Chain A
């Protein structure tokens, strides 16, 4: 069973990396380790995120929809295609990696 919840994503200030808000006000690079909430609690996540902006950890946080596995209550992947690419990186090989 899957359901859709919300998460906060942003870019890390010092290196620009894509991050997700996780438990204990932590920020993770891995979407599956992020904290998902229903729409009502999403506001609280954004409040936490704004504090992180204030503390120079991240920039430009926003909410995204994610598919969550009901049994484990873990995020599986973002709903929007754009966010899937942000989560996994470019879909093409960078030349130096070939």
Chain B
């Protein structure tokens, strides 16, 4: 994985020193809260419902075991012994004190981590496919380009005060596991007719109160033009994006209001006007960054593992986990292992410091010392030898990280909701917990299969409800929590914004409503249709009628 060079070290350390001074002046009263707020936000520190919240950046979700151990240590020493993985492959602490945050950032810097640009109106963490470099359906590893973009946009003076936050996602695979359709910029590595590799560029996707699927602005962008083209998009956005209304300030609104053709022509104009040589990527720089992401030293192993065959035949729980949470690897004899952070009745994305330490150890033993965070709030050990799967599984079971539910109904994306968040209008975590309990047995009993269920506690949609096959949005009505259901959304290559199915349900009724929806799917599905396929084939009316019939 990427390792800091002198520039990264210097700017991270200098930022800690600067921030420590700012905090000290704030506590002394030499900076007012109004002046301090943008400074703390530039270092990932929010004020939430009960406490401060610190968001730590995990570039494209990649962590070394030493970094994860540091995250565990910080959770234990400065928080309440746990952290929370987010939908943008970052980690949040829910209870740090302001006084401790400079020490936390100094600890992070010691393992080449920081919280720079995890908040504020700047480019945020560049997210990517959690299976980058190991997925069989991948054309090329997207991480070097994610890293190049990270370097370009970190503390970039021209883009430090954008109209609003900005999010880039990149994938190199056929199956979109990075949700590139719902990002400000989405990039997909592909080949053109001449057989050259470059990027399809999407722009103006996003969720929140005005959800949009990204629009193609360039069908093929040569690799060497990547940075120059991103600069052109950001320049047009920086100049033309609305600053008068926070709710209309994201690039998706600008693209929508101008139309993609007009926006594209402005970008093209800016692109042509910029000096080619300055930002030309070039093979040498590309190769230098790519070297950090070279494949690990795989052993020469066979895909047939007697250990796995033996364990599968006698152990149903292992076999189920193998089928659901373990994915094919491009290297013979290896597997991709998903660690579920969605245990029965748990808080999606939460992980204790003890679990983090243990996972770091497992990564050292079984997966070349690296761990990845996924945008669906789980973890991945990407390079596990098949023969090690039985021993790894046993360890994960003991850690409660082996719930066999990857991409199934209890693998819920869930925002912190009103249990933690100052913006929320309703709680989301208790709904996720109750759904996971309700479907604990039904999932297998009914063979519900692949389904994406996403929950947000307010219209800002951090829980990605718009793109859930089933989406749930918590709202407040007359002081009570109600939950609105959307159906048919997706953040993958078949991306779409879900449709609101009808009137919202009370907290009491929402779990039954979801079970009823699943029932409608089960009784109507054909062959091996997923919930989403059945919904799209039958349409909203069929589901709506059955859901509200005699309800």
Contact = CB atoms under 8 A, between A and B. Distances in A.
B157 interface: no
Interface in B28-77: 28-29, 33, 47-52
Contacts of B128: none
Interface string A66-83: 000000000000011110
A77 to B, nearest CB: 13
Nearest to B81: A96
Interface stretch (B267-275, B347-355, B370-378): B347-355
Interface in B459-483: 476, 479-481
B419 interface: yes
B50 A16 contact: yes
Contacts of B350: 94-95
Contact of A92 (B52, B81, B347): B347
Interface in A50-70: 53-56, 59-60
A95 B49 contact: no
Nearest to B97: A15
A91 B480 CA distance: 15
Contacts of A95: 82, 346-347, 350-352
A18 B479 CA distance: 21
Nearest to A59: B33
A14 B352 contact: no
A12 B52 CA distance: 10
Contact of A91 (B82, B98, B430): B430
A46 interface: no
Interface in B417-438: 418-420, 424, 427, 429-430, 433
B352 A96 contact: yes
B46 to A, nearest CB: 10
Nearest to A18: B50
B27 interface: yes
Interface in B439-490: 476, 479-481
A16 B29 contact: no
Contacts, number: 86
Contact of B29 (A55, A80, A90, A92): A55
Interface residues of B, number: 37
A83 to B, nearest CB: 10
Nearest to B30: A56
Interface string B88-111: 000000101111000000000000
A64 to B, nearest CB: 13
A1 interface: no
A45 B174 CA distance: 60
A92 B437 CA distance: 14
B47 A16 contact: yes
A6 to B, nearest CB: 17
A11 B47 contact: yes
Contacts of A86: 49-50
Interface string B296-330: 00000000000000000000000000000000000
Interface of A: 11, 13-18, 53-56, 59-60, 79-82, 85-86, 89-92, 94-97
Interface of B: 26-29, 33, 47-52, 80-82, 94, 96-99, 346-347, 350-353, 418-420, 424, 427, 429-430, 433, 476, 479-481
The 4 closest A-B pairs by CB, nearest first: A96-B81, A15-B97, A90-B419, A16-B52
Given A16-B50, A17-B50, A18-B50, 20 more contacts: A13-B98, A14-B27, A14-B98, A15-B97, A15-B99, A16-B97, A17-B51, A54-B29, A59-B33, A60-B47, A81-B476, A82-B49, A82-B424, A89-B50, A90-B419, A90-B429, A92-B429, A94-B94, A96-B82, A96-B353
